[in-house]
Amino acid sequence: MNDTTTKPVAAPEESGELQQQIKELVIARILTLPEDVSLSVGDEDLKREQLVEHVQKEDKIGKDIVDMQMEFIRDMASGALYENQ
């Protein structure tokens, strides 16, 4: 990933429809993970379903998950993930 700052998913003026599509994309990506996968966030381990719940609620953890997924997708699309190979 290019830098240490995360880019916001979408600017505030972008449509709610775009935000919803991004959220659906991230949830679809999470659902491709094995059911028993967990992600450590702070001192808490979150299962796949809990990750989806946080994204749906759009709470702090959910927004961070969306930002991480979108940064990964942007880096993949730009080729940044493949630059050092």
pLDDT for 28-77, tens place per residue?
Answer: 999 999 999 999 988 899 999 999 999 999 999 999 999 999 999 999 89
9: confidence class by pLDDT, cuts 50, 70, 90:
low
Residue 79 structure tokens: 């080729």
pLDDT for 10-26, tens place per residue?
Answer: 555 567 889 999 999 99
Identity of residue 50 = Q
Number of other CB atoms surrounding residue 43 within 10 Å: 5
What integer pLDDT is reported at residue 35 of this predicted model?
A: 94
Answer for the pair 69, 5: CB distance below 8 angstroms, yes or no.
no
Can you give the pTM of this predicted structure?
A: 0.75
User: In the chain, what are the domain boundaries?
Assistant: 16-82
What integer pLDDT is reported at residue 27 of this predicted model?
A: 98
In DSSP terms, which residues pair with 39 in a beta bridge? 46
Residues 33, 34, 36, 40, CA torsion sign:
negative
Answer for the pair 70, 26: CB distance below 8 angstroms, yes or no.
yes
